[in-house]
Chain A
Amino acid sequence: MNATREIFWNINGHGIIYFLFILATIAFGYGIFRRYYLWRRGRSANRNDQKWVRIKLAVGLVLGHERILRKRQEGIMHLLIFWGVVTLFAGTIMVALQADLGLKVMEGRFYLCLKPTLDMAGLATLVGLLIAISRRYLKRAEGLDNQSTDGIVLALLAGIIVSGFIVEGLRIASTHDQWGTWSPIGVTLAGALGSVDRENLVAAHKILWWTHAALALGFIGYIPHSKLIHIITAPLNTYFRSLDAKGAIPALDLEDDAVKSFGINSLEDFTWKDLFDADACVRCGRCEIHCPAHLAAKPLSPKKLIQDLRTHMADEGHVVGTIVEEEAVWACTTCGACMEQCPVLVEHIPKIVEMRRGQVLMKSNFPSELNLIFRNAESNGNPYGLGQAKRSEWANGLEVEIVSEGPAPEYLYWVGCAGSFDDRNRRVSAAMAGILKLAGIHFAILGNRETCCGDFARRLGNEYLFQSMVRENLEILNGYGITKLVTQCPHCFNTLRNEYPQYGGNLEVIHHTELIAQLLKSGNLKIKSKLGGTVTYQDPCYIGRHNDIYEAPRDIIEALGVELAEMRGSHNESFCCGAGGGRMWMEEHTGERINVKRTEDALCTNSQTIAAACPYCLTMLEDGIKFKDMNNKVRTVDLAELVIEAVRGKGDFR
């Protein structure tokens, strides 16, 4: 006998279901259209090129849960619910195919396979829901805020699954379905109901069947009116992701005369993708619990920023000062922790930088200390405001070649402003020059012709200043025919490598940790004496998260014979030192000091040495060490300084 079941057993007037279905579809369609209408208000942005690359990346993220699973517990929770619901939805489609199109799918061996599959899917969903409920209401997990809609969504899903199981159990119990054993959960429930008389079973079945159907259709209608909209928007958002280099801020055309407003001033200045992002956000809070600004009690939360954008998407008028607090806009260190964590690939930093652009370029409204910094950079080519004539002072007596005075070098050593003007970081530059010499690399510096790379200006929204620096630098670099650069500053590195191409730069840039790691590996640089001891390493945001360089610095540490004690939050979960995004040049008025927080993490490792690979990190951590009064016990160094110590033999580098 062919295995199957009667679809509408015990149900009269099932035609009403079509009516309910139409209602749900209208609620769904109306909700989506309303949001679509709002997204359409945004500016244009092309996020539909390279379709196959996009699809491939999206498949891994959506079906494979690559990002979501980074957090074990909630990853598994979502994976169970996701695949559970997808499977059950597919099962429902099978039923619809049979009932409405008359296709005989629910038959035979396929039907028998479908039964346990759907049962397991329901069970998986239920387990996922239990984890979700316990995380949200019992454990009150970090980063989650409980709104009534969260409860409704969970209750709807749980109601659908539980009523589905009971309906199945009731049907099996009342029809003595011979294929019932293929539904393990249904048959177990039926067994439990065995003692109830048939009449009651049939009546209960009828009620629960309709309940199940109503809940399921209600769920569909509720999608666009709640965070469930992410079922639609999240996969699309991963498809529409940015395919540019992670560390690059999108370019801005300042030359275009037709453009009257730069940056984000009103809601219409966002791109449609920015607005779409807000509807993809699921309020998971992963961005927030990794945001250094938020954790140091500044008035910025990337989650709140995106949610506020969502809430006010239909508004008119200004964004900064109304939808987003002014101080929040300036609190971001552009560390990228939010974007690295976000499971639905919301792009926070470009929005924040665009808002800063609006404030700087159109309103000239920014924290007052930046006035001096911008002017310094404008007239002296560096934010320190020291004369360009002092730029190569650090190299006095070190016999470092200047590009203009010798044959074309293999590498241009791009020193950067901190390495040129900051006393402490000048010693790193000296160490770096020593390493390059010992490795026999022919290098030169631009000397006084080097100008700030512009990283800080761009991230502070001063695109005009940034672009004038880019132009100046590219002119000089191209003038000397330079294509290969090495730098110890992750900010210079990222900007030269990922942002200069936006303005015609074509540079091969390498970070000093990468170059040193290569030189140690190839044997061009030989270690005289291993150093010993323990060291902890601060992953700089701009080589780590923004450029995925995590191993080269660790290879160096290993080669030095030093034991590495990782801090709480390393690799892509590293916690910013607080100086990125132009924060180096701003005062910290509110909340705790970010650098002190990070220094505490470093001190927790009990290492005698804190190694940085970034001049800002070095400055900030050294300040933190002094603040903690630990400067007699712990030293802060750049990796290059450790390397020269080991290469020259101990105690030699100072």
Chain B
Amino acid sequence: MNETGLNIAVLVAPVHDCRNPVLIDPVRKQVDPSSLHWILNPPDTIALEQALRLRDRIPRSGVRVVSVAPPSTERVLRECLAVGADELARLWDERIEEADTHSIAALLAAVIRSGPVDLVLAGWRSADMEHAQTGSIVAELLGFPQITCARSVEPGRDPAHIRVEKRIPGCLLAMSCALPALVTVEKGPPLRYPRYSDRRNAWRTPIRGLDLRAIGLTEAPQSRLRVERMTPPKPRRRSAIGDGANMPVAARLQRIMAGGAQAKKETNVHRCPDRSSTLKVIEHILKERLVVLPEKSGNGR
């Protein structure tokens, strides 16, 4: 089968970026859809990068991105084309709106089956529901062997195999898996940044949206799971070490924890140090007299 290279399908889900404010339309008292910010599910982007690297290493291979997502996500899905995916298959039908993980997986499996496939890659979970089930169910439905939470996916010893590494407590596990197979990816290099020229081409590539009929279905799969209620957790005060926007000591701590004065970027800050590093930090503070008792607070910040 591998004379034609590897046919890789990547499952990609667009998710809402919860870091951006969601605006409420004051007139219609509804969420303003323009404020909903779609991004690619971060673990899926890592799976996509693995797929692209495999494709680059094995001649005549192709990457097909498969997604069950509404048309409004097309803009962000095109990113997959911009970074180099060869094809984008997006399936949507109004009736899918309320689908549970199993139904989505069934649809994904049906789309995957509609083309040649040797390897399916997916992020190990999605950032919205966090069931971490989609990949596994798809594998079962396709009858593929599966490996979850991989750290790297590389060409195998022969064209009919791939080599997968994952970490389990205390060691790194290297496995060989016969193709076809499905691998969910946990960690890996970040998705490459597209060239502008590729991005421009991606905007212009027509994307054919698939509907249920295109994969031979007349009805959406039955959903058997329903979300009853969502309750936000009670806000918890974060410890001074982790947060404390207005506490100068904390600002200093952040720097220390991020590697002392070497660091200058907020992105380097580790917000949840483990116990031993916390102790080290406290030792350091005491030694360096970074904290001055309040009565002397004239210049001790």
Chain A interfacial positions (CB closer than 8 Å to B): 254, 260, 262, 360-364, 366, 370-372, 374-376, 379-381, 384-389, 393-394, 421-424, 426-427, 448, 463-464, 579, 584-585, 619-620, 623-624, 626-627, 632, 635, 651, 654
Contact = CB atoms under 8 A, between A and B. Distances in A.
A375 B18 CA distance: 15
B39 interface: yes
Contact of A387 (B20, B264, B266, B298): B20
A131 to B, nearest CB: 44
Interface string B59-100: 000000000000000000000000000000000000000000
Contacts of B260: 626
A362 B195 contact: yes
A371 B193 contact: yes
A363 B193 CA distance: 10
A170 B196 CA distance: 72
17 contacts: A363-B195, A371-B192, A375-B193, A380-B19, A380-B20, A384-B266, A384-B267, A386-B266, A388-B21, A389-B20, A389-B21, A423-B250, A426-B245, A448-B21, A584-B264, A626-B260, A632-B300
A387 B18 contact: yes
A361 B262 CA distance: 30
Contacts, number: 92
B196 A254 contact: yes
Overall SS of chain A's interface:
helix
Given A379-B37, A384-B266, A260 B197 contact: yes
A388 B196 contact: no
Given A379-B37, A464-B196, 18 more contacts: A361-B197, A362-B197, A364-B193, A364-B195, A370-B193, A372-B190, A375-B190, A379-B19, A381-B20, A385-B267, A386-B19, A387-B20, A423-B254, A624-B261, A626-B252, A632-B299, A632-B300, A635-B299
Interface residues of B, number: 34
A262 B198 CA distance: 12
B19 A623 contact: no
Contacts of B157: none
Nearest to A373: B267
A316 to B, nearest CB: 21
A362 B196 contact: yes
Given A584-B264, A635-B299, A374 B193 contact: yes
Contacts of B254: 423
Contacts of B255: 623, 626
Nearest to A464: B196
B210 interface: no
B132 to A, nearest CB: 23
Contacts of B250: 423
A98 B17 CA distance: 84
A635 B301 CA distance: 10
B251 interface: yes
Contacts of B251: 423-424
Contacts of A262: 196-197
A254 to B, nearest CB: 7
B195 to A, nearest CB: 5
B8 to A, nearest CB: 21
A381 B21 CA distance: 12
Interface in B276-296: 289
B193 A388 contact: no
Given A380-B20, A387-B18, A448-B21, A364 B192 contact: yes
Contacts of B193: 360, 364, 366, 370-371, 374-375
Kindly list the 6 A-B residue pairs having the minimum CB-CB distance in the complex, ordered from nearest.
A387-B19, A361-B196, A627-B261, A626-B261, A389-B21, A364-B195
Contact of B17 (A379, A423, A579): A379
Q: Of A374, A379, A579, A585, which is in contact with the most chain B CB atoms at under 10 Å from its CB?
A: A379
B246 to A, nearest CB: 8
A299 to B, nearest CB: 21
Which has the most chain B C-beta neighbours within 10 Å: A388, A426, A619, A627? A388
